[in-house]
């Protein structure tokens, strides 16, 4: 599905603290230099920055030197959603510059994206699946490791089973348990 050095992982979380731990582990695992790109809601950006600080990461310095990039998920979505559907060209125009800047830095590029979960939670499950596919297309051009998280309870609805199956298939790995209703 994805080229060497690339992965696209779906994870399910039970609490915001669980989310912060999963995202921190993804963005900062391995100990080697990397660029961490966080595309999340304001609340989750604060929680994850707090987790980073507790682990000894100087968030301000990382933002200043470009090793950490924090984007608002709703703002990013607004840049490429057209009539409730992700526009591929606009998605590329939104995310390509961020990834291009990150790729010139030493080490791996690690991304956390919450945009798909926002779409899913808004009942736009088909748009979320399409966005997952657009991330996979972007990974053919840029080398990065992507973590997408979903609240475990939000993916449990039986009426979303087909989109859930498609969403899971878009990932190279799936972590965590989904809630059952």
pLDDT in tens, 2-58: 444 578 988 989 999 999 999 999 998 877 768 999 999 999 999 999 999 999 999
Q: Is 148 helix (H, G, I), strand (E, B) or coil?
A: strand
Query: 7-175: which CATH architecture?
Result: 3-Layer(aba) Sandwich (3.40)
Strand partners, 146: 8, 111
Q: Which pTM was predicted?
A: 0.89
C-alpha angle 122-127-129 in degrees, rounded to nearest 5? 110
* Separation of first and last alpha carbons in the chain: 31
Hunting for tokens 């699946």 — which residue is that? 129
Return d(Cα 70, Cα 61) in angstroms, integer.
Answer: 13
φ, ψ of residue 73 in degrees (nearest 5) = -65, -45
pLDDT in tens, 44-80: 999 999 999 999 999 999 999 999 999 999 999 999 9
Return d(Cα 133, Cα 144) in angstroms, integer.
Answer: 15
Q: Of 58, 43, 5, 49, whose CA–CA distance to 24 is shortest?
A: 49
Tell me the domain boundaries of the chain: 7-175
């Amino acid at each position: 599905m994805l080229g060497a050095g690339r992965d696209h992982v779906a994870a399910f979380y039970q609490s915001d603290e669980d989310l912060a731990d999963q995202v921190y582990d993804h963005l900062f695992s391995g100990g080697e230099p990397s660029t961490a790109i966080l595309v999340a809601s304001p609340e989750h950006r604060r929680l994850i920055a707090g987790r980073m600080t507790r682990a000894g990461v100087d968030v301000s310095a990382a933002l200043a030197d470009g090793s950490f990039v924090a984007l608002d998920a709703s703002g990013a979505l607004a840049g490429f959603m057209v009539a409730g559907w992700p526009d591929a060209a606009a998605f590329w125009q939104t995310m390509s510059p961020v990834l291009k800047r990150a790729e010139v830095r030493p080490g791996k590029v690690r991304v956390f994206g919450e945009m798909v979960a926002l779409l899913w939670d808004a009942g736009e499950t088909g748009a979320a699946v399409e966005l997952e596919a657009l991330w996979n297309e972007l990974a053919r051009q840029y080398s990065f490791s992507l973590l997408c998280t979903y609240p475990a309870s939000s993916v449990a609805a039986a009426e979303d089973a087909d989109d859930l199956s498609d969403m899971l298939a878009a990932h190279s790995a799936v972590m965590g348990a989904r809630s059952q209703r």
